[in-house]
Amino acid sequence: MASSKPPQMHFFLVPFMCPGHIIPMADIAIVLAQHGVLVTLVTTPLNAIRIKPAIDSAVESKLLIRLVQLKLSEPTGLPEGCESVESIPSRSLIRHFLAVVSKLQQPMEQLFQQQKPVPNCILADKHIVWIKDIATKFQVPWLMFDGTGCFASVCNSNVLQSKVHETVPLPFQPFVVPNMPHHIEFTREQLPGNLNPICQDIEDLHESVAAAEEEAYGVVVNSFEDLELEYVKEYQKTKGGRVWCIGPVSLSNKALAHRGNKAVVDENECIRWLNSWPQKSVVYVCLGSVSRLTLQQLTELAFGLEESECPFVWAMREDKTGEVGKWMSEDGFKERTKGRGFIICGWAPQLVILSHPSIGVFLTHCGWNSTMEGICAGVPMITWPMFSDQFYNEKLIVQILNIGESVGSKVAVPMGMQDRFGVLVRRKSIQNAIVKVLLENGAEDRKVRAERLAIKANKSKEEGGSSCLNIKNLIQHITELSLGQYQT
């Protein structure tokens, strides 16, 4: 007798409202749909704009993805169009922003209840702490999306549990993270918000995220086993084996130029400029969508690029005040670097740029998405961590994978506190890092290691690769859970 066909699995996805969270979640939706899962992805209208082209392309390819938009309750008390973390104008509004987002809980419950077929699980960002209540109410498992890698998660957990950072008397005194496969050191000033004393103003928000994490059924990670296998195993120990590394998820999205916001520069113009340079000669600079440099720190970066004498593509945040453009014009920076500098003020087609043969190094803030995208492109990195998990990621890039060089950033600068710190990285450090990665002895070995990791990243997504097997195992696990073969 033929076995019955397994039921259609339906995953309900809820990303956090921040580019570095919603974009990989859209990629995950595509990955799941490519493996036969029906996916409902829920966000707000302005956040939907940045992922709609990729989702529409997937739907045209007959993938089963529903993109549903829920509006924030009016009035929000926020500036017009503030639906994402990077658009919050000041740190004082973070708490209010999260309170506004939490009002989506009731309409989200109603939406979940209306779904046909009934979703088998909720996959949601760990920062949507109230999602656990919806999962509990409808008796479905909550899979937590952890927007960083396993190495960072293990680092954070080991510091938190051991409280080793509390034993050092001075802020800049290094301490060793206990119970790690490698010798890893940090200072208190480099730790993310949940461990950093300077972030006490939102300490309760970090605590609520940590409490919610404990209730998650399992964890989905945008990483691959060959990248950080020892730490995948360590992370699995803490989560009862329910950690599924299914990345790099960006490899699921073939429409590279349509990933994220609409680029402010013409893709073909950018490619033409890149085509004019030799292979592995151009510096690509992007410090993320949330990081904000003071004008003084930005000018140090500009001079570092100029004095390196290397061609560069610099993707910077939109210059809403006009002060950056004014400085560049008055100082003569644009004129002096004309021809060898390509500046993008706003969203850049990052995957298109990184995949171009002329890119020789990626100067990055070490956000996990950018880290993974640099690895997938096989490009060495210059690391300039700013806050959150970024100092953790720098250790992975520079010390463990040995594919990067640090500019020497020593202090985590929480979002909205940039003016307190002034200039932390000097032009000479930036220039030296560029020259070292592109031109000095050892540069070729670093390039070879980066290229080998890119090969491993792509193989992980192929049939029989670790990430391909993990996504199948995840779907199978939820299928059997839905049939009553596992207990939550």
Whether 1 shows a pLDDT value over 50: the answer reads: no
Residue that wins the pLDDT comparison between 346 and 392: 392
Where helices occur in 214-308 by DSSP H, the ranges are: 225-238, 267-275, 295-308
Contacts of 23 (CB under 8 A, 6+ apart): 50, 51, 259, 260, 369
pLDDT at position 423 is 79
Mean pLDDT of all residues in the chain?
Answer: 92
Which residue in 368, 376, 443 sits closest to 405, CA to CA? 443
Rounded CA gap, 403 and 449, in Å? 6
C-alpha torsion sign, points 304, 310, 315, 320: positive
The type of residue at 386 is: M
Residue that wins the pLDDT comparison between 108 and 488: 108
pLDDT at position 2 is 47
**Of the ranges 15-29, 226-240, 282-296, which one carries the lowest mean pLDDT score?**
282-296
Q: How confident is the model over 331-352, as pLDDT tens digits? A: 999 899 999 999 999 889 999 9
Options 3.40.50.2000, 3.30.1330.80, 3.40.50.2300, 3.30.70.1250; CATH for 10-254+460-482 is 3.40.50.2000
Select the highest-mean-pLDDT range: 76-80, 251-255, 403-407: 403-407
Rounded CA gap, 465 and 458, in Å? 9
In the DSSP assignment, the letter for residue 365 is -
Q: Which residues pair with 121 in a beta bridge?
A: 11
Rounded CA gap, 312 and 149, in Å? 28
| CATH superfamily of domain region 263-456 | Glycogen Phosphorylase B; (3.40.50.2000)
Rounded CA gap, 434 and 360, in Å? 10
Contacts of 66 (CB under 8 A, 6+ apart): 38, 39, 40, 41
pLDDT at position 406 is 97
Residue that wins the pLDDT comparison between 134 and 90: 134
| 378 contacts 453 by C-beta, under 8 angstroms | yes
Contacts of 201 (CB under 8 A, 6+ apart): 91
Beta strands 218-221 and 243-245 are: parallel
Rounded CA gap, 118 and 136, in Å? 14
Tally of CB atoms within 10 A around 37: 22
SS in 3 state form for 113-139? HHCCCCCCEEEEECCCCCHHHHHHHCC
Tokens matching residue 57: 């392309």
Q: How confident is the model over 145-175, as pLDDT tens digits? A: 989 999 999 999 999 999 999 999 888 899 9
The residues annotated as belonging to the active site are: 21, 125
Whether 483 shows a pLDDT value over 90: the answer reads: no
Which residues make up the CATH 3.40.50.2000 domain(s) of the chain?
10-254+460-482, 263-456
Tokens matching residue 183: 């010798």
Position 92 confidence tier, pLDDT thresholds 50, 70, 90: confident
144, 177, 387, 400 from 185: Cα distances, Å: 28, 6, 16, 12
